[in-house]
Amino acid sequence: MAVLDDAGRAVLAELATALPADRVLTDPDTVRPYVHDEAEWAEHGSPIAVVRPHSTAEVAAVVRACARHRLAVVPRGAGTGLSGGANAVDGCVVLSLERMRDILEIDPGERLAVVQPGVVNDDLRAACAEQGLWYPPDPASAPWSTIGGNVATNAGGLCCVKYGVTRDYVLALEVVTAAGEVVRVGRRTAKGVAGYDLTGLLVGSEGTLAVITEITVKLRPSRTAPPRTVVGFFDTLADCGAAVAAVTAAGLQPAAFELIDRHCLHAVNEWKHAGLPEDAAALLLAQTDLAEPAASAEAEAIAAAFQAHGARDVMVSTDPVEAEALFDARRLAYPALEQRGDAVLTEDVCLPRGRLAEMLARIDVIAERHGTFVATIAHAGDGNLHPLIIVPHGDAEARTRAQAAFDDIVSAAIELGGTVTGEHGVGLLKRDGMRRELDPGSLAMQRAIKAALDPDDILNPGKVIGQ
SS (H, E, C) 26-46: CCHHHHHHHCCCCCCCCCCCC
Residues of the chain with CATH 3.30.70.2740: 341-452+460-467
CATH code: domain 103-221 is 3.30.465.10
How far is 118 from 169, CA to CA, in rounded Å?
17
Domain 341-452+460-467's class? alpha beta
Give the fold, CATH level 3, of 6-96.
3.30.43
What are the tens digits of pLDDT across the range 325-344? 778 888 888 888 888 878 88
What pLDDT is stored for residue 367 in this prediction? 96
Q: Is 284 helix (H, G, I), strand (E, B) or coil?
A: strand
What pLDDT is stored for residue 40 in this prediction? 83
- The DSSP string of 306-345 is HHHTTEEEEEEE--HHHHHHHHHHHHHHHHHHHHTTSEEE
What pLDDT is stored for residue 467 in this prediction? 59
What pLDDT is stored for residue 71 in this prediction? 98
What pLDDT is stored for residue 278 in this prediction? 83
Strand (E) or helix (H) holding 191: none
Residues of the chain with CATH 3.30.465.10: 103-221
What pLDDT is stored for residue 155 in this prediction? 96
How far is 166 from 163, CA to CA, in rounded Å?
10
Selection from 348, 354, 408 nearest residue 378 by Cα: 348
Q: In the chain, which residues have pLDDT < 50?
A: none
**Phi/psi at 206 (nearest 5 deg)?**
55, 35
Residues of the chain with CATH 3.30.43.10: 6-96
Residues of the chain with CATH 3.30.70.2190: 225-338
Q: Is 215 helix (H, G, I), strand (E, B) or coil?
A: strand
- CATH 1.20.90.10 given to domain 225-338: no
Strand order in the sheet with 24-25: 24-25, 49-51, 93-96, 73-76
* Count of residues making up the chain: 467
> In 10 A of CB 441, how many CB atoms?
8
Strand (E) or helix (H) holding 287: strand 282-288
How far is 165 from 65, CA to CA, in rounded Å?
34
Selection from 268, 265, 296 nearest residue 283 by Cα: 265
- The DSSP string of 431-464 is HHHHHHHS-HHHHHHHHHHHHHH-TT--BSTTST
In the DSSP assignment, the letter for residue 83 is: S
Name the maximum alpha-carbon separation found in the chain: 70
How far is 110 from 103, CA to CA, in rounded Å?
16
Enumerate the β-bridge partners of residue 76. Answer: 96
**Phi/psi at 357 (nearest 5 deg)?**
-60, -40
Q: Residues near 73 by Cβ (< 8 Å), separated by ≥ 6?
A: 62, 63, 66, 92, 93, 95, 211, 458, 459, 460
What are the tens digits of pLDDT across the range 166-177? 999 999 999 999
How far is 16 from 34, CA to CA, in rounded Å?
20
